Structure 1
């Protein structure tokens, strides 16, 4: 069901595996997906200098290796239907799920253009002190086939990188407090990360889709930069947050 719809962005409440069936085939230019990492296992982390549980909700709990992989294949196949032939998809994840996603893409005969390492210089410390501190996430950038004519705004990325070719290691701090003034999501991504993804491979007027909308950072960056946006989420509160954030940048929030 539509939660909000105007001339620039559309928000839809529901499971993306079902919702994507209703969208027009090959109608989307770019997809950014930040799927559940399946990390909610009762573990602990450091938040604001204090010990905190990593559990985020039922949606983030693992159903086991094979069921988790099947879930990844399902939503990726639904995304494939709505992505146009020359469009690209970005998927972010930690080692808990990113290898499953890479394998699922290869099963679909997708071509991986790049693997990006998002290094977090201010990542939370390791509380258990039994392994290295997790300080990065992996982003996969892929297209439907090697021959697909994807968009890459090389010069824009070079300019953003001080006149040098942008490399596949991106040093970007975790989401700052100023981006959470209207509310937040436990896996919220920083705008700078989404800016690089969206600006690198889309043009003004293109349609950007996020099947796991969360706090709507994808939509905020898309709208700020002249793109259109479709966001899907199972939680009404996060669609409301996305709506507030986008209307705020448009000057329509009262």
Structure 2
């Protein structure tokens, strides 16, 4: 992320009540295709200790960020209850205009964020954090906690992959985990979405998962070998692999 973009996003955060965690994701941060224009929408996840209190304060500061019917019918209580009972624990305010940019920010309870990362309880935020994001604020070291999520995602992907695959196929399988069972992928979403995400953010995926690949190699669970391709082939080692 460019310093100018980071400074703007931090300035936007100052217009909201304090948060414990903030990450930016989506095509604004990492265009899916190299050279493509950045999206006009900035997507953020905000972690807060008490969502009801946070929304109550934000309604005073930024009432226009919310749907009018939610404000009229129940305010902060309704906003939080709908997110907890009907949603995935996250309330999103989309189409928030500020400083010539459009924002969409989702607010989640920090405890729920940690539980989803560690246990895949709802597999929404954990799935989001299995893909590249840019962390702007992290008071509770969520980036370190997320290593559990990344390791689990890689292990799940290996179970779904054949005995030999490329690095790109590994990242595509990891990326696809959060889209499995998502009906939007059958109708509304681009069916090449996963491929575009991985191709456009390949080096970022590599940076995230390289430590786990190297660890699995050390434990002789994976083996990388060069072939005629520009990128190595990864093999899942079995008993037969070591005896060969």
* TM-score (ref. length: structure 2): 0.24
Larger radius of gyration, structure 1 or 2? 2
TM-score (norm 1): 0.23
Structure showing the higher helix proportion among its residues: 2
